[in-house]
Amino acid sequence: MENKNFDVNKLLEIQDVSKHFRVSEGILKAVNHVKLDIYKGETLGLVGESGCGKSTLGKVLMGIYMPTEGKLVYHGKKEMEINKKTHFEYSKMAQIIFQDPYSSLDPRMTVGSIIEEGMIIHKMYDKKRRQERVYELLELVGLNKEHANRFPHEFSGGQRQRIGIARALAIEPEFIVCDEPISALDVSIQSQIINLLHDLQKKLNLTYLFIAHDLNIVKYISDRIAVMYLGNIVELASSKDLYENTLHPYSQALLSAVPIPDPDKEAQKQRQILTGDVPSPINTPKGCPFAGRCPRATDICRQEKPVLEMKQGHLVACHHVESR
């Protein structure tokens, strides 16, 4: 966590949180004993394949889902444990930006009322001031006043994502979960949104949890990155360390699978191709969750689940990483 000026204050403490869902085939362990601290002012990247539980974890941190086990402690403006009672109060501190800018905006509401809604719910300001806030927010995200009376269908994907960001900022949160905010956008628009998120973070001192599967973007925007596999965090390190000295075999495979937009580098690259698919998170076997696809797996991996521990400056959960 070098070259970074975020203070070392914890914003959110995730204490051994699990989220399980009961399904007809058994218990689906979407998030499994996650221990993680999020610091004020940082961007924490969360990567993994679909179904690894990254969005579920994001929703648990938002208070949308209550954890099955463990607890969440919020250290922001006020210290509190997040539960059903404090959820409403907490929702004023934490907001979310969704992946799909088409389905996450109510098509029958004007942009102005979409942005204003959160402020009404939290009884912020009077009507006149709220109107002013809507205009300020629209300008803050690069739209303008006139857009307040229009409907979402009149906007392009990138503009809708800006509206989603304005809505998230309306109640002045400290913490924003960005759940794949750019995956649905075109390349030339992605960089606009990334730059906007970065500017807003500097201006408003926000903390982001940035969930994505595009690893190049996550590397660019994050201070630290957590890699998830089948509901477990398998590696956590500063983004520079994670890329330069990848320790967990899954992180290595994930990074090597990302195609680089450079034909020469692509031709030289030794790609490590994982066989098979992510196993089902229902009734997972004991041992390391990655053992079934891991090229380095041995008996111990199939018997005993590795714990997330500090090795070579990373937090990593693997039996085969030397702790130097």
Partner 1 sequence: MNKVLEVNDLHVSFDTYAGEVKAVRGVTFELHEGEVLAIVGESGCGKSVTAQTIMKLNPMPPARIVSGEIQLAGKNIVKATEKEMMNIRGKDVSMIFQDPMTCLNPTMQVGKQLTEAIRHHQNLSKEAAHKEALRLLELVNIPNVKQRAKQYPHEFSGGMRQRVMIAMALSCAPKLLIADEPTTALDVTIQAQIMDLLQEIKEKTNTAIILITHDLGVVASMADRVAVMYAGKVVETGTAEEIFYRPSHPYTRALLKSLPTVEMDRSVRLVSIAGTPPDLLNPPVGCPFASRCEHAMKICIEEMPPQFDPSDNHQAACWLLHEDCPSKKDGGE
Using alpha carbons only, what angle is made at residue 234 by residues 198 and 90, rounded to the nearest 5 degrees? 50
Among residues 59, 71, 240, 305, the one that binds partner 1 under rule CB under 8 A:
240
User: Alpha-carbon distance 224 to 235, whole Å?
Assistant: 11
Binding track, positions 109-148, relative to partner 1; x by CB under 8 A: ----------------------------------------
The H or E element that residue 236 is part of is: strand 232-238
Select the span of 68-76, 87-95, 125-133, 257-265 touching partner 1 (CB under 8 A).
257-265
Among residues 8, 23, 66, 258, the one that binds partner 1 under rule CB under 8 A:
258
Q: Do 181 and 161 touch, CB atoms closer than 8 A? A: yes
Select the span of 10-18, 73-81, 98-106, 191-199 touching partner 1 (CB under 8 A).
191-199
91/159 with CB nearer partner 1:
159
Count of residues interacting with partner 1 (CB under 8 A)? 45
318 to 7, 18, 58, 300: CA distances (angstroms): 30, 20, 24, 10
Among residues 195, 283, 303, 312, the one that binds partner 1 under rule CB under 8 A:
195
The yes or no reply on residue 215 touching partner 1 (CB under 8 A) is yes
Q: Tell me which residue of 5, 74, 62 sits closest to 31, measured CA to CA.
A: 62
Say how many C-beta atoms besides its own lie within 10 A of residue 36's C-beta: 21
Select the span of 5-13, 56-64, 270-278, 294-302 touching partner 1 (CB under 8 A).
270-278
38/119 with CB nearer partner 1:
38
Q: Tell me which residue of 228, 88, 113, 101 sits closest to 164, measured CA to CA.
A: 101
User: Alpha-carbon distance 284 to 309, whole Å?
Assistant: 22
Extract long-range pairs of 113-117: CB within 8 Å, 24+ residues apart.
Answer: 114/152, 114/163, 114/167, 115/148, 115/163, 115/166, 115/167, 115/170, 116/170, 117/167
The yes or no reply on residue 2 touching partner 1 (CB under 8 A) is no
17/217 with CB nearer partner 1:
217
User: Alpha-carbon distance 234 to 52, whole Å?
Assistant: 11
100 alpha carbon, distance to own chain's centre? 15
Shortest Å distance, C-beta 261 to partner 1: 4
The yes or no reply on residue 252 touching partner 1 (CB under 8 A) is no
Shortest Å distance, C-beta 6 to partner 1: 12
32/238 with CB nearer partner 1:
238
Among residues 120, 274, 282, 297, the one that binds partner 1 under rule CB under 8 A:
274
The yes or no reply on residue 191 touching partner 1 (CB under 8 A) is yes
Q: What is the contact surface with partner 1 in residues (CB under 8 A)? A: 49-50, 156-159, 186-192, 194-195, 198, 213, 215-217, 219-221, 239-240, 243, 253-254, 256-266, 271, 273-275, 277-278
